[in-house]
Structure 1
Amino acid sequence: MTNFLKKINQLDKKLNYGPIHNQVEEINAIVEHVANQEVLPVAPAPLGLLPDQFEEVVDRLNEEQKVDLKAINNLLNSLRQFLSLKYGVWSLPNKKTATLIKQELAINSALEIMAGNAYWSKALNEAGIRVTATDSLEWAKTSSTGKREFYPVVDLDAVSAIKKFADADLILCSWAPNFGKSDLDVIRAWKKFAPESHLLFIGEKEGATNSPEFWENENFVNSSSLRKINRSFKSYDFIDEQIYEIKHEL
């Protein structure tokens, strides 16, 4: 993925096809924002060609162009991988979604756990929320991307952070791993130490994030506020990333 931007822009020039060019321009803008540690104003538009779109375009091309189209479509669908490897970013926050979280859920203070480089913390902070970002930072010891924090990160594991900052209005966890049961530990700690707060997970249901037990056993909030928030956070690739709120026990 080292030459991701170079390759995708070269192929864009060769193909000279408007819809592809627009997507490449969007990727260039996204990467510029991330490289400058800036928050996107809104969620990116969907990237990549759907199968029917691909077939419609490929029929007009010669053999060399068909190879190039397949290559650039693969790259369009690989932005998330590039951002994770280059910048340690798996989830792209945006100002509109962060602002809606503040407004719709009446959030004044937030705790981000397992925050990584704390990109979401930066977005929430720019929306006017007082944010504490925390992470055990174990991953950062072996990854060069761990040296690129978007927002100051306190060295604390998730359970300890919830206990220490239990008065936060919001606890946020983005892209909990889909192995182990750290997400279940988080929920137990939330119920014990901070049951009055909102607990949000950002991820893909039964896919790239969170444990199987999490998706099988937890009850999620289905509210107009959360639906409004998620409408501002449409996934830009094949990963169906959404924001989930854990339902409070009665």
Structure 2
Amino acid sequence: MTFNLETYISRLKACRDYFAKLYSVSDLIDALLFSDLAISKKRLPDKLPKLELSDSMIIEIQDFLSKEIRPGMSELEIQQKVRPAEELDGLLHDYRDYLIEKYGMFAYISKEWVRDLLKFLNGRPTLEIMAGNGFLTAGIRELKKGYPIKATDNFDWQVMNHPLSPVTKVVKMEASAAIEYYLKDIEVVLLAWSPQHSNCDWLILNYLRVNKFFEHGGQLIVIGEKNGATNSKKFWKQAELSAAKNLNKNWSRFDLIEDQVFIVE
């Protein structure tokens, strides 16, 4: 089935009802529905499991369908019984597309992960650049009122069919201008899901180096898929990265995109 924003959740709920007695399957669907509910209410969602049907789930579904399909059924009737299983597989893979189109959420920010991030930041003043609709900064502000963090974005990416408002205060500012303006007051820079088609991440990295940000103990936290769906090739080639163990423990890698959390220092 083709991804459809307007019918996505209703189709997911229909699959939930159809497989209600297959608890491993219905629990997986519930994880998505609860996640969507939290995000729709501007709250941090829980960490997501891998959004795929495991071998054991597939066997359960096959056993279930074998009881639903009876001798003498027409081809159309059989297809109607089988279709929810085929549709569910597609819906699981489409969840990231749904989050992007519905909420403008590119990097999935969970409650568990933000707790880890706050421990890592340890009160240090922070700037988020290319913050999008501000989900990362909003999560920090939700769990730690008054945390010293600024969020900025130029909102050039907002070319969707429906307007999307930031979920927290995000200052409209180019990333390079934000770095220059706030640099003297911050110790950490956050950069989540920088676009592939722009070298601004590489320019920012070099600006931080020239201004001795790292030499003075500053850190750049990058969330993305190395040499994949995010960030420029120049950035991945030139950044000296280390995967942060404490920040990847609860990072939700729920689909085929292998994004993770890196530290540049």
Same fold (TM over 0.5): yes
Rounded to whole Å, the distance in 1 between the matches of 2:16 and 2:114 is 32
Deviation (angstroms), 1:101: 2.1
Tell me what 1:211 maps to.
232
- Indicate the residue corresponding to 2:172 in structure 1: 155
> Any residues of structure 2 matched to 1:1-250 within 5 Å, and which?
1=4, 2-16=6-20, 17-40=22-45, 42-50=46-54, 52-53=55-56, 55-57=58-60, 59-60=62-63, 61=65, 62=69, 63-64=78-79, 65-128=81-144, 129-140=147-158, 142-143=159-160, 147-166=164-183, 167-193=185-211, 194-195=213-214, 196-222=217-243, 226-246=244-264, 248=265
Name the amino acid aligned to 2:205. I
Answer whether contact 2:52 2:89 (CA < 8 A) is retained: yes
Partner letter of residue 15 of structure 2?
L
Shift in alpha-carbon separation, 1:130–1:144, aligned structure 2, 3 A: farther
TM-score (norm. length: structure 1): 0.87
Deviation sequence 1:40-84 (CA, Å, 0-9, x none): 2x422222214x346534542245343321211110121110010
Cα drift, residue 216 of structure 1: 2.7
Aligned-residue offset at 1:182 = 1.7
**Aligned partners of 1:43 and 1:233 also within 8 Å:** yes
Identity across the alignment (%): 21
**Greater Cα radius of gyration, structure 1 or 2:** 2
Cα RMSD after superposing both structures: 2.0
Q: Which amino acid aligns with 1:168?
A: I
Change (3 A) 1:139 1:190: same
Measured after TM superposition, the shift of residue 119 of structure 1 is: 0.3
How far apart are the structure 1 equivalents of 2:242 and 2:52?
31
Query: How far apart in 1 are the matches of 2:180 and 2:143?
Result: 25
Structure 1 residue 181, shift from structure 2 partner: 1.1
Q: Is the 8 A contact 1:109 1:131 kept in 2?
A: yes
Asked whether the equivalents of residues 107 and 169 of structure 1 are also in contact (C-alpha less than 8 Å), the reply is: no
When the two structures are superposed, what TM-score results if normalisation uses the length of structure 2?
0.83
Q: Secondary structure at the match of 2:242?
A: coil
Matched residues, number? 241
The CA distance in 1 between the partners of 2:139 and 2:116, in whole Å, is 11
**Are the counterparts in 2 of residues 116 and 146 from structure 1 also a CA contact under 8 Å?**
no
How far does residue 160 in structure 1 lie from its aligned partner after superposition? 0.8
> Shift of residue 96 of structure 1?
2.8
Which structure 1 segments of 5+ residues have no match? none
Rounded Cα–Cα distance in structure 1 between residues aligned with 2:253 and 2:198: 25
**Residue 9 and residue 117 in structure 1: after superposition, are their counterparts in 2 closer, same or farther (change >3 A)?**
same
CA distance in 2, matches of 1:81, 1:240: 15
Unaligned runs of 5+ in 2: 70-77
